[in-house]
Amino acid sequence: MLRIREAIVVEGRYDKNTLSQVVDTLIVETAGFGIFRDGEQMELLRQLAQKRGLIVFTDPDGAGFVIRNRIKSAIGSQYLKHAYVPDIMGKERRKARPGKEGKLGVEGMTPSVLEQALRNAGATVLGEEDGPACDLALTKADLMAMGLAGTPDSGARRAALLKEFGLPRQMSVNALLQYMNTCCTEKELEAVLAAIKA
């Protein structure tokens, strides 16, 4: 079990239950879109973020990105880290049918996928050395030069890159840029770009 310094915010209790089997830290639920109505809950998240850091870990569907963006707009980015699970089609065991977009959420992921997502987000694992050095400082201009933004086929290239990284297809260009700068080394990025060219 990973012991991490940051608190984690998830959408619901099933996400929390699944994640608590992988990580030992404070996990807070938003009650889905309840975060939009609950000022006290948002204040709690703000305080946790300032005191120990906060990892936003929502589902890879449209609703998850809306909740993620609400938290991003209310809390300074210097206090946030973002964990993403890949787009995997299916349904959670407890549900009669898949969700609206047909993707598994946090609760449907295996422990190894959840752990990797937290490590990729830059979670501070207590008792371990610092994580891998991420040596990128990319800008949007760099993404344009790589053909990942601003060109007619950049959407397709970006989708292939997101797939190679195991990230949700709906990630914005800004979120991708943040991910690359905080979770990738130059060598890893070169390997992924070579793979999508081939």
Report pLDDT for 135.
62
Residue-by-residue pLDDT tens, the chain, 198 positions: 899 999 999 999 999 999 999 999 999 999 999 999 988 889 889 989 998 899 999 999 999 999 999 999 999 889 999 999 998 888 888 888 888 888 999 999 999 999 999 999 999 998 875 555 566 788 999 999 888 888 888 889 888 988 888 777 878 888 788 778 777 788 888 888 888 887
Q: Which pLDDT score is estimated for 13?
A: 94
3-state secondary structure of 8: strand
Stretch (H or E) spanning 42: helix 39-52
**pLDDT for position 187:** 85
pLDDT, position 133: 56
Residues 77, 54: Cα–Cα separation, whole Å: 10
- pLDDT score of 171: 81
Cβ partners under 8 Å of residue 13, min gap 6:
29
Contacts of 196 (CB under 8 A, 6+ apart): 157, 160, 161, 164
Write down the pLDDT at residue 15.
95
Q: What is the pLDDT of residue 177?
A: 84
Q: What is the pTM of this model?
A: 0.74
58: tokens are 């929502």
pLDDT tens, position by position, 125-160: 988 755 555 667 889 999 998 888 888 888 898 889
* Calpha distance 71→83 (Å, rounded): 13
**3-state DSSP helix/strand/coil % of the chain, to nearest 5:** 50, 10, 40
